[in-house]
Amino acid sequence: MLLILHPNTQESDPAFKKTMTHLQQLSGVTIKQHEVRGQLQSLREIYLLGDTYALDLEEIESLPAVEKVIRISDEYRILGRHKDQQRRSGFHYQGLAFDQDSLNIFAGLCAVDNPKHVEEMLRALKANGLSCTRMGAYKPRTNPYAFQGHGKDCLPWVFDLAGKYDIKVIAMEVTHESHMQEIDRALAEAGRPCGVIMQIGTRNTQNFELLKAIGKQNEYPALLKRGFGITLNESLNAAEYLASEGNSQVIFCLRGMKSEFGAPHRNMVDFAQVPTVKRLTRMPVCIDPSHSVGSRDVAPDGVLELCHATAQGVLAGANMVLVDFHPAPTKALVDGPQALTLNELEPFLKDMEIAKKAYLERVKVWQSAASDD
Ligand code: PEP
Ligand code: MN
């Protein structure tokens, strides 16, 4: 059972104390508290776990600090929507909203290679009014002899350059909890010129120890990639691991499924599930068209298939796009064949704007049809 308390309830409030005293007397019930921090207000949620079926909903609802009571299923306890369309989604980070209504574009390098390319990339982002990027410093590679990323050595100059070009948030994959500490240290030493979202790659979706480590801290949000060979339910449960440890600032990323049936795409594009994840959970949903489509193939209409796939995700309500760009794709150390060029950034953004507007129009049509019923 989930109890949502009145906004801005503090632990020192008499109403809160009275409520807790009552709850602590319930037998067979464990109490877990959770704080959801928004831009303007914080919401305190209380989870009653265990023997809750016998509890009287009205009695709990009448406790002084309680605004609302929801019976929740066992799955996705914290991140789940539990059939309540009004529950708030997402979080704020570095002054930006990440929720089920926002759309943040994270264009950038799959892998950090050298300062020249990083600077060219960031300069292009700033020129196009963007303030987020992706930058891979730790690369999980199939081949042990392939370039593994510059790791912590590149962090000082990457963060300095981010500050120089007003980049607020970098999505950066971590494959071990020590990487999070390295990033934290480098950010502190650089004077925290930007923020970082800890990206968990598809190969680590069920690395439960990594999930727990990232879930135990609240400083950095997490971007969890869907596992490419497991069910959606298993991947959503992986996201819930992060929240169950205390960090509910989680973005869920669809990035395609490993299947021969997706060929000639690198993975089977799964963006039809954007609305599904939004219905089942309160997480903002990201799409990664680069790792899904995996090529620069152009359709007969002159549009890259990768851009068609991105638009399909945005038309379905995606809240974030993680996309590979590179100033010189043929020189990229990782995933060059799927990188868009800097000349393609402006048309890409225009395309996204059209798709976002069309999405909002579509929603209006269906909402007015529903209200006519
Ligand atoms: C990436 O985003 O660079 C990446 C390796 O993605 P994925 O984990 O989805 O393969
Ligand atoms: Mn890549």
Residue 323 has a pLDDT of 98
Say how many Å lie between the CA of residue 317 and the centre of ligand 2. 24
pLDDT digits (tens, 9 = 90+) for 231-275: 999 999 999 999 999 999 999 999 999 999 999 999 999 999 999
pLDDT digits (tens, 9 = 90+) for 277-298: 999 999 999 999 999 999 999 9
Residue 175 pLDDT greater than 80, yes or no: yes
Q: Is the CB of 255 under 6 A from ligand 1?
A: yes
Contact 95, 132 (CB under 8 A): no
Which atom in ligand 1 lies closest to the alpha carbon of residue 111? Answer: 3
Q: How far apart are CA 233 and CA 239, in angstroms?
A: 10
3 state SS of 69: strand
Q: Which two tokens stand for residue 328?
A: 């010189």
Stated pTM of the model: 0.92
Residue 41 has a pLDDT of 77
> What sign for the dihedral angle of Cα 350, 96, 225, 180?
positive
Q: How high is the mean pLDDT of the chain?
A: 95
Q: Which two tokens stand for residue 243?
A: 């929240």
Looking at ligand 1, which residue's alpha carbon is closest to its atom 9? Answer: 202
Which atom in ligand 1 lies closest to the alpha carbon of residue 110? Answer: 3
Looking at ligand 1, which residue's alpha carbon is closest to its atom 6? Answer: 201
Q: What is the mean pLDDT of residues 124-143?
A: 98
Place of tokens 């402006």: 346
Q: Where are the beta strands (DSSP E) in the chain?
A: 2-5, 29-37, 42-50, 66-70, 91-93, 96-98, 104-108, 132-134, 169-173, 195-200, 222-225, 250-254, 285-287, 320-324
Q: What is the mean pLDDT of residues 172-192?
A: 98
3 state SS of 292: helix
Q: What is the mean pLDDT of residues 40-63?
A: 87
Residue 42 has a pLDDT of 77
Place of tokens 């503090």: 10
Would you give the distance in Å from CA 211 to the centre of its chain? 14
pLDDT digits (tens, 9 = 90+) for 142-170: 999 999 999 999 999 999 999 999 999 99
> What sign for the dihedral angle of Cα 87, 102, 275, 316?
positive
Which atom in ligand 1 lies closest to the alpha carbon of residue 200? Answer: 8
In sequence order, what are the residues at sequence separation of 6 or more whose Cβ sits closer than 8 angstroms to the Cβ of residue 269? 256, 262, 289, 292, 293, 309, 312
Task: Band the pLDDT of 330: cuts 50, 70, 90.
Answer: very high
Contact 52, 98 (CB under 8 A): no
Say how many Å lie between the CA of residue 335 and the centre of ligand 2. 5
